[in-house]
């Protein structure tokens, strides 16, 4: 292996255990002749090529300027490349699976990949240094998504919507003011400051100085609001720009932010929060919030299931102005079920005690948020049809004086986040005491959100179950970026869930859709203890 990743050393090589392309069954192993991954900058284009012996492996060439590398395991990584079709919206169309011989070589390869990619997107200065033309945010986020995101949060009406979420704003205010000891005389960085309200709270709590970092046009409104509160504003500096690009004159003793999106991780601002921690926070500094938990439980809701299924009835028309629409019915049906449902639901719809997945913001790495894998295991409390997985989150403000939780749990006062439900197009049947297993797998994409893969399975139940296996399973793929915003308050359920209302389409009448082609708090409010799955 070479001794430098700079372009002045034209090549850098790694010996691999194996390499394969996901879109085909072809795989190349180094059992006989070693497989070599070679970084090169021929003709000024940074690329990754694969060789076996003296032969170039055709079809495995990777353009580092349009690729991303994901770590799937200690010895396994996935390199995905964008489509070369510039007439279409950017999409990652090729994938190369790479297996390493040991963990050290895996770490070195990832480091080299990042360095070469940085150089491929930068310009060289006369002294040999590199001026990177894009920030880390720009390299991983689609420009059109970022433009829409910052435009949205640059409008006062959307800031008002968040400020008027009194559960959110009131909890932040209480967490700060009740923990004055953490803020008095300290330097604070407000990550994604928005209107500047959290910066003003920190100043009220006695902060020595607050740096409010905001990338959208809201930074100008924040300056105006802070100037209008001169007693507090004299200790607040607004910095307009992305946190990934910001430079501060001093380190922070405490970070404060509201980086949570739907299902905690939507909009991918948690990554910016973690980057700010690494760049600005002193060792052992505090983070408000410091911990996030994603709570999950299977639910049963015939009303919701039939409501979604009925949306596709339009496509069952056989004579729509002389056109038969039924060939598109199956695609439309699956399309509606690919939307996560955002609403506030009755916690009595849950059929199992919830479990939770913990994200420790003090320790988690930014890369850990690129792909989140949560094994699921529940025990049904009742016999019913399970229609999917309900999710919500809470975050902890671990102050020195008071610990305070902000929860979005069903049954708690409704927030602007509501809750979210992933609905299966094929429900599964369970009996009381039956075990439900599965997986919630979330992969970040460049539209500042996640693709969700959900699988739920019902295991053998009753005498002899130990010798049995899975008897039912159902899967779905959803885009967290494109939810179905259903309603703002829990709908009253006056009928038993096993009773069908009079509707256009009864659940049992819905034709089966083949799924084999799919890609794969306060807890007292629920009166159900959450079982921590583990911290990332």
Q: For 418-446, what is each residue's pLDDT tens digit?
A: 999 999 999 999 999 999 999 999 999 99
pLDDT for residue 27: 58
pLDDT for residue 381: 96
pLDDT for residue 468: 61
pLDDT for residue 23: 60
Sorted by where each begins, the domain ranges of the chain are 12-83+92-121, 148-258, 293-485
Burial of 496 (0-12, 13-18, 19+ CB in 10 A): exposed
As a whole number of Å, the end-to-end CA separation of the chain is 32
**CB neighbours (10 Å) of residue 71?**
16
**∠ at Cα 372 (275, 353), nearest 5°?**
120
Tokens in use for 357? 């997945």
Report mean pLDDT in 10-residue bins for the chain, 536 residues. 39 82 61 78 74 70 81 84 52 75 86 77 40 70 92 94 96 98 98 97 98 96 97 96 93 98 97 97 97 98 96 96 97 96 96 98 96 97 97 98 98 96 97 95 96 93 63 94 79 43 40 39 38 43
- C-beta of residue 121 within 8 angstroms of C-beta of residue 133: yes
DSSP secondary structure letter of residue 350: B
> Does residue 21 have an active-site annotation?
no
- C-beta of residue 195 within 8 angstroms of C-beta of residue 216: no
pLDDT, tens only, 400-423: 999 999 999 999 999 999 999 999
> Matching CATH topology for 148-258 and 293-485?
no
pLDDT for residue 398: 97
Query: How far apart (Å, rounded) are the C-alpha atoms in residues 194 and 158?
Result: 10
Q: Which of 119, 214, 244, 267 is catalytic?
A: 267
What count of residues does the chain have? 536
What is the architecture of the domain spanning 148-258?
3-Layer(aba) Sandwich (3.40)
CATH topology for 12-83+92-121 is PH-domain like (2.30.29)
pLDDT for residue 494: 45
pLDDT for residue 26: 54
Query: How far apart (Å, rounded) are the C-alpha atoms in residues 249 and 247?
Result: 7
What is the architecture of the domain spanning 293-485?
Distorted Sandwich (2.70)
Query: How far apart (Å, rounded) are the C-alpha atoms in residues 513 and 312?
Result: 12
Burial code (b: 16+ CB inside 10 Å, e: under 16) for 3-14 equals eebbbeeeebeb
Q: Which of 258, 271, 302, 307 is catalytic?
A: 258
SS3 state of residue 307: helix
Percent of the chain with pLDDT over 70: 78
Query: How far apart (Å, rounded) are the C-alpha atoms in residues 128 and 24?
Result: 41
> Does residue 258 have an active-site annotation?
yes
């Amino acid at each position: 292996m070479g001794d430098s990743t700079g372009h002045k050393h034209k090549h850098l090589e790694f010996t691999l255990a194996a390499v394969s392309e996901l879109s085909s069954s072809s795989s190349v192993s180094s059992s006989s002749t070693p497989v070599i991954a070679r970084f090169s900058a021929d003709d000024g284009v940074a690329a990754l090529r694969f060789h076996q012996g003296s032969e170039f492996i055709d079809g495995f060439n990777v353009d580092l300027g349009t690729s991303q590398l994901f770590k799937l395991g200690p010895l396994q990584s996935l390199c995905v490349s964008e489509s070369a079709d510039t007439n279409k919206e950017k999409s990652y169309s090729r994938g190369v699976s790479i297996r390493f011989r040991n963990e050290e070589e895996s770490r070195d390869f990832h480091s080299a990949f990042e360095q070469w990619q940085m150089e491929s997107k930068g310009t060289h200065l006369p002294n040999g240094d590199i001026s990177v033309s894009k920030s880390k945010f720009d390299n991983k986020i689609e420009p059109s998504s970022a433009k829409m995101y910052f435009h949205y949060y640059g409008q006062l009406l959307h800031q008002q919507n968040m400020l008027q979420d009194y559960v959110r704003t009131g909890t932040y205010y209480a967490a700060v003011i009740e923990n004055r000891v953490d803020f008095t005389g300290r330097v604070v960085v407000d990550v994604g400051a928005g209107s500047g309200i959290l910066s003003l709270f920190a100043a009220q709590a006695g902060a020595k100085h607050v740096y409010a970092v905001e990338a959208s046009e809201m930074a100008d409104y924040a300056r105006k609001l802070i100037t209008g509160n001169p007693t507090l504003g004299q200790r607040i500096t607004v910095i307009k720009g992305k946190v990934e690009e910001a430079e501060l004159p001093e380190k922070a003793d405490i970070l404060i932010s509201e980086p949570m999106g739907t299902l905690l991780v939507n909009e991918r601002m948690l990554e910016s929060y973690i980057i700010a921690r690494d760049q600005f926070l002193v060792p052992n500094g505090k983070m408000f919030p410091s911990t996030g938990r994603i709570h999950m439980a299977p639910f049963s809701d015939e009303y919701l299931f039939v409501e979604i299924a009925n949306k596709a009835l339009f496509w069952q028309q056989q004579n729509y102005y002389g056109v038969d629409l039924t060939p598109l019915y199956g695609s439309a049906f699956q399309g509606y079920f690919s939307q996560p449902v955002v609403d506030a639901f009755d916690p009595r719809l849950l059929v199992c005690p919830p479990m939770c997945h913990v994200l420790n913001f003090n320790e988690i790495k930014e890369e850990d948020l690129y792909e989140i894998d949560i094994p699921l295991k529940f025990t049904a409390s009742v016999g019913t049809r399970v229609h999917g997985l309900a999710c919500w989150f809470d975050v902890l403000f671990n102050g020195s004086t008071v610990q305070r939780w902000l929860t979005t749990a069903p049954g708690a006062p409704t927030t602007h986040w509501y809750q979210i439900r992933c609905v299966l197009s094929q429900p599964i049947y369970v009996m009381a005491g039956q075990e439900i297993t599965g997986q919630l797998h979330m992969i970040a994409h460049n539209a500042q959100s996640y693709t969700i893969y959900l699988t739920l399975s019902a295991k053998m139940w009753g005498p002899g179950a130990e010798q049995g296996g899975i008897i039912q399973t159902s899967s779905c793929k959803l885009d967290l970026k494109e939810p179905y915003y259903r309603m703002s308050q829990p709908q009253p359920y006056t009928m038993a869930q096993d009773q069908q209302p009079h509707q256009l389409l009864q659940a049992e009448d819905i034709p089966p859709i083949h799924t084999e082609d799919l890609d794969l708090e306060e807890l007292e409010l629920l009166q159900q203890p959450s079982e921590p799955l583990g911290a990332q």
